[in-house]
Amino acid sequence: MVLKFVTNYVKQLAVLSMLLFLSVVLFAQNTGQLKWQVSSQKINNKEYLISAKGTVADGWRVYSNKALPDGVDKAAINFTDSSITKNGDAEVSGAEKTNSDPLFKQLATVIEKEVTLSQKITFTNTIPANLKISITYSFAKGSDQFFTEPGEKFEVAIEGGVAVSADDNRIKINSIDLKNPVANCGNAKTEESKGLWQIFLIGFLGGLIALLTPCVFPMIPLTVSFFTKKETNRKKGVGNALIYGSFIFLIYVLLSVPFYFLPKGNEEILNNISTNPWLNIAFFIIFIVFALSFFGLYEITLPSSIANRADAKSNTGTLLGIFFMALTLAIVSFSCTGPILGSLLVGALNGGAINLTAGLAGFGLALALPFAIFALFPQLLSSLPKSGGWLSEVKVVLGFIELAMAMKFLSNADLTQHWGIVKREIFIGTWIACALCVTLYLLNVPPFRRKYPVKFSKAKWAVTILFAATTLYLIPGATNTKYAKLSLISGFPPPYCYSVYPQPFYCDEPLKDYNEALKLAKERNKPIMIDFTGWNCVNCRKMEENVWPDEKVKKLMGEFILVSLYVDDRKKLPAYKQFTYTTADGAKKDIVTVGDKWATFEVENFAHTSQPYYALISPDEKLLNAPEPYESSPAAYAAWLQCGLDAFAKKK
């Protein structure tokens, strides 16, 4: 019974944590009601007819494009290459029936038994030998079952098309041996361990911030007093408080568990989720909504039924009751912890499920510690500041921080899609405005003057000075001067080259295609430095802005052919360069975007999914030394580069 209760509520929390991430990929799909056969027919030099003939299961009907009920989209054949021009809408043909639809109670044209979708297209670029298509359509059964298939995928052969070249579809390089590089130097495992600790500390810091919110802070003395005063045996009361804190920690760690069970054969799926532009846009909107909530325009909470059900179970037995008390805290504090937790989730996903666990563990530990500490030393409760107006001020400050973080998510989407909307100076200008607003608000000056008396404590003055200093520090970042570097926030704004100025600095453009780099390396007899990077990768920008400019590092890097492979680039490959790749474990993966190709390249050859990640190989594609992840020390990074050069010289 206990296991059932725990399992049910953990499932609910897991669903809440993954809802935003998986909303971009969950659709109602065809599960056998229609079976399609696709074909193509050449009309003239560049024009083709793409057809999909479907067999409809008994009792089901497909909606034609001739007369559609309100809210039902047209059936269509879609293409992954935007350069392909559709000549009109898709034609839907078959034994049509037009009558009042039993589901929508409106006039509709439907087709049963057999249906054909036809789409004329014109190729404006190179014609591929095989074209990837997807079919969208709506189908129903009776008066109570309706589905929309958002994009069932197929591949159709094209007469006279150009096949993917051997270079373009080459992912796996058999000569790369991770276990036996030419030289035994590099400390990737150590650095990955450091990375986990950094993520843990970031999560811990986020948890400490969450403690200061009005949703959590007042709960500390109330909860500790409940445990210490409820039990006549103080030792037992302290033990229950410690168990309560442990359950808080456990609940947040459990939120990461579902991410370990994502489908195999697509190891970089977490990176794809965190860098998905539409998910980032969704988080941009959500953070704006949370910011307005912090400003007091409205209150955001999870459905009260969830909190009520958890609270009702808090008296069910001793241990189980304590668990549900901890769960109730996690639920009712969501309006304050949700935005902080959301930032952590998206940021940590880039490194995989283990990074997510590290971040959530830090967050949960920070929330749990006060309950344990004050239970052990209840006399410290008297030193806590009383709840009051300062908590409301904390919410407003967090609101402006949420606005600044919202800009980060918009920037992520902008970079991966190459929209050119949020240039570096616009991003920093927004942060300047947010920091300035916090400063003016805390100083109680127009336009943020309150009608009630505002008190100033030492802590408040410290926070005010911090945000004022932040404002002054950020201002040069919006200029095109040598002071624009802003090393303290390196990696968060867009790259230097993503600028509104016509001639930004630090803009040496590297190669972005491995095959081009390999060709150049063979011509010049120089080793290759592979830089697995991403538009949304904070640590990648830190390396490029703080480590690569070091004189020794820069000189050593000049001895390599540098190629930067962006694993999150959403730019579509031309249709004739798109293909389906079979991974090492036998899974089929569609290579449609630039990011698809290089993310798969990293996984297949280096068994790695996070960025930055650096590998040095010879022109004959032998691994020179152990690959290197993020390394903040220019001296250590230079030593790693030198080791690779020494290995190359030895090999020659």
Domains and CATH numbers, the chain: 1-26+212-385 (no CATH), 34-157 (2.60.40.1250), 507-651 (3.40.30.10)
Identify the DSSP state of 580: E
Provide the 10 A C-beta neighbour count for residue 384: 14
- Residue written as token pair 């830090």: 362
- Mean pLDDT over residues 297-304, rounded? 60
pLDDT at 191 over 60: no
- Residue written as token pair 């911090």: 466
Q: Give the tens place of pLDDT for each residue, 504-544.
A: 555 667 899 999 999 999 999 999 999 999 888 888 888 98
Peptide bond just before 612 cis, omega within 30 deg: yes
pLDDT of residue 301: 55
Q: Give the tens place of pLDDT for each residue, 43-99.
A: 988 999 999 999 999 999 999 988 888 888 889 999 988 789 999 989 999 998 898
CA distance to 233, 273, 608, per residue, from 270 (Å): 48, 5, 12
CA distance to 113, 115, 117, 580, per residue, from 35 (Å): 11, 10, 13, 21
Half-sphere exposure of 186 (CA within 13 A, CB side): 27
Least confident of 339-343, 360-364, 411-415, 566-570: 339-343
CA-to-CA distance for 624 and 176, rounded, in angstroms? 9
- Higher local confidence (pLDDT), 471 or 277: 471
- Higher local confidence (pLDDT), 621 or 489: 621
Provide the 10 A C-beta neighbour count for residue 59: 11
Q: Who contacts 628 (Cβ-Cβ below 8 Å, separation ≥6)? A: 186, 187, 188, 191, 613, 614, 615, 637, 640
CA-to-CA distance for 392 and 264, rounded, in angstroms? 46
Peptide bond just before 447 cis, omega within 30 deg: yes
* Token pair belonging to 1: 């019974």
pLDDT of residue 5: 35
- Mean pLDDT over residues 239-260, rounded? 79
The answer to whether 57 touches 320, Cβ cutoff 8 Å, is: no
- Residue written as token pair 């120089």: 526
> What amino acid is encoded at 606 in this protein?
F
Least confident of 195-199, 226-230, 566-570: 226-230
Identify the DSSP state of 378: G
Average pLDDT, the chain: 80
Least confident of 91-105, 243-257, 270-284, 297-311: 297-311
pLDDT of residue 352: 61
pLDDT of residue 164: 86
The answer to whether 365 touches 208, Cβ cutoff 8 Å, is: no
Chain center to CA of 580: 24
Burial of 523 (C-beta count, 10 Å sphere; 0-12/13-18/19+)? exposed
pLDDT band for position 248 (cuts 50, 70, 90): confident
- Higher local confidence (pLDDT), 187 or 327: 327
Measured in residues, the chain has a length of: 652
* Token pair belonging to 6: 């725990």
Q: Give the tens place of pLDDT for each residue, 326-379.
A: 776 666 666 566 666 666 665 555 556 777 788 888 888 888 888 777 766 666
* Token pair belonging to 94: 């078959």
Q: Which residues pair with 114 in a beta bridge?
A: 55
Least confident of 319-323, 358-362, 456-460: 319-323
Least confident of 37-41, 130-134, 188-192: 188-192
Identify the DSSP state of 534: -
Q: What is the pTM of this model?
A: 0.72
CA-to-CA distance for 191 and 351, rounded, in angstroms? 13
Kind and range of the H or E run holding 504: none
- Mean pLDDT over residues 149-163, rounded? 89
Provide the 10 A C-beta neighbour count for residue 160: 9
pLDDT of residue 217: 63
Instruction: Return the SS3 of 100.
Output: strand
Q: Who contacts 339 (Cβ-Cβ below 8 Å, separation ≥6)? A: 286, 287, 290, 291, 398, 402, 405
CA-to-CA distance for 413 and 568, rounded, in angstroms? 10
pLDDT band for position 6 (cuts 50, 70, 90): very low
